[in-house]
Structure 1
Amino acid sequence: MGPEAAQQDRYCMEAVGRLAVEFGGVVSRRVVTTTVLEARRDLEGRIVPEALAEMLHRLAHHRLDRMRANT
């Protein structure tokens, strides 16, 4: 799943949009997109589809927050 895949997945688009604003001064939009896509891949098939949007945002946020803490 490449960056263009985020544009085709509504959940990824929403998560990237919100997280790019929140972490904009810390990491690039490309890093946010990559983090969201990796989180999406890690969650695929592991949770019920109804929870995907929330869990995707939470997991990607957690990973980006760790990046922020390490800078």
Structure 2
Amino acid sequence: MTVHDHQTDDITDEVRQWLCREFASSLPESAVDDIVRTAHADLDGQIRPDAMGEMLHRLARFRVLRTLRAQRPI
């Protein structure tokens, strides 16, 4: 494991924990974890590494909110 991998894991875990706390009453932790991991995979190699934390948080939070909107009955 490289230093980059370890830092990436830390950032991903931090974003996951943040969003799990924010949406604990609305979405299971496993769903948030899946969203964060998918968002990270989508961003990896597409943005500067030093921007990963902020961009991952923004993208994952957007996707969590989109998921919650999709679950609402019409």
TM bin, normalised by shorter chain, reads 0.7 to 0.9
Map Cα deviations across residues 14-49 of structure 1 (whole Å, 9 max, x no partner).
001100011111110000110000000000100000
CA RMSD of aligned residues (A): 1.1
Unpaired runs of 5+ in structure 1?
Answer: 1-7
2:56 — aligned with what?
56
CA distance in structure 2 between the partners assigned to 1:59 and 1:65 by the alignment = 10
Alignment TM-score, normalising by the size of structure 1:
0.85
The TM-score, its normalising length taken from structure 2, stands at 0.82
Task: Tell me the matched-pair count.
Answer: 64
Runs of 4 or more off by more than 4 Å in structure 1? none
How many angstroms does 1:69 deviate by? 1.5
Q: Tell me, which stretches of 5 or more residues in structure 2 are unaligned? A: 1-7
Matches within 5 A, 1:1-71: 9-71=9-71
**Identity between Structure 1 and Structure 2 (%):** 36
